[in-house]
Structure 1
Amino acid sequence: MSEWEPKIVAFLCNWSSYAGADFAGLKRLKYPANIRVVKVPCAGRINPKFILSALRHGADGVWISGCHPGECHFVEGNYYARRKFALLKSFLEHTGIEPGRIHFSWILATEANKFAQMAQEVVDGVKALGPARHFIKKQAEV
């Protein structure tokens, strides 16, 4: 039997983190293959429902990554994202979901090495928690 590998959904900002992932690929840097990327216009546009939906549909962890503070393509989007996800993380912890399942980072397009390193940290962090107890019930099960 093979060793369990976590399923990670990564919401990456088109202007920074997604470009950093692309650059990591161009540099042929190694990072875990169990991350599924969703390209978004801005981290600030991610609705917390997207994260809940990813967890509900089988993701063991979620990674949100955007521009560095003060360098957002949409001026303040990353500040909105930071506030939203700080609240969401505490809400999830209150409901029994380990806070280590949600990761947030700032990665620029030129930071390919940082992207690969953070990808490994996210996978290792979620892997240490083990498989998610998917107690967020799907609508059909309720």
Structure 2
Amino acid sequence: MTESREPNTEQQEEWQPKIIGFLCKWCSYAGADLAGGSRIPYPANIRIIRVPCSGRVNPLFVLKCLENGADGVLVSGCHPGDCHYSEGNYYARRKFAVFKKLLEYLGVDPRRFQVSWVSAAEGEKWAEIVKTVVEEVRAAGPNKQLSAPVDKCSGAPVKRKHLKND
């Protein structure tokens, strides 16, 4: 039940990965804002969700993103030791190290979930991290493993019904 690590190259050329980023409002979000304000180019594949602290990101948020069609998820916070809330990033670092192992155990390609530390003054570093994450997720291919709905009783794949506009 593990996903293929070698996606079809023809599909990959047309396909652009969808990445969700959970960014700490005190550091990483400010670093992303600095990159944008300084016109430092980075891929537009990422959709940013500002959170109070990287330590407040629930691992279920990551699973829900992957389940609902995101190809990758990035959690980014303050550098360890520089957390606005003292220990939030230490908590995030421990929590997501274990969570990443759980994802690997479940057969999810580890390239789909990344954690980074970016300060408010590191706009260029933010741009490089986004480029790296997009390249790694693109190499992993489209997320098909968690996005397919299954029947809750039988566990069999369920075909999605499309509503017609009448």
TM-score, normalized by the shorter chain, greater than 0.5: yes
| Residue type of the alignment partner of 2:99 | L
Count of equivalent residues: 141
Q: Unmatched 5+ residue regions in structure 1? A: none
TM-score, normalising length: structure 1: 0.94
Structure 2 counterpart of 1:123, which letter?
A: V
1:72 pairs with one of 75, 83, 89: 83
- Structure 1 residue 44 and structure 2 residue 55: aligned? yes
The residue matched to 2:14 in structure 1 has which SS?
coil
In structure 2, stretches of 5+ residues that fail to align are: 1-10, 153-166
Q: 2:166 aligned with 1:133, yes or no?
A: no
Give 2:56's aligned amino acid.
R
What are the Cα deviations for residues 64-123 of structure 1, in whole angstroms up to 9, with x where unaligned?
000001000000000000011011100010011011111110000000000001000000
Amino acid aligned to 1:96: G
Q: CA RMSD in A?
A: 1.5
Say which structure is richer in helix. Answer: 1
SS at structure 1 position matched to 2:105: helix
TM-aligned CA deviation for residue 22 of structure 1:
0.3
Q: In structure 1, what is the Cα distance between the partners aligned to 2:105 and 2:52?
A: 29
TM-score scaled by length of structure 2: 0.81
> Which structure has the bigger radius of gyration?
2
What secondary structure, in the 3-state scheme, does the structure 1 residue paired with 2:49 have? strand
Give matches, 1:53-72, under 5 Å: 53-72=64-83
What is the aligned-residue identity percentage? 54
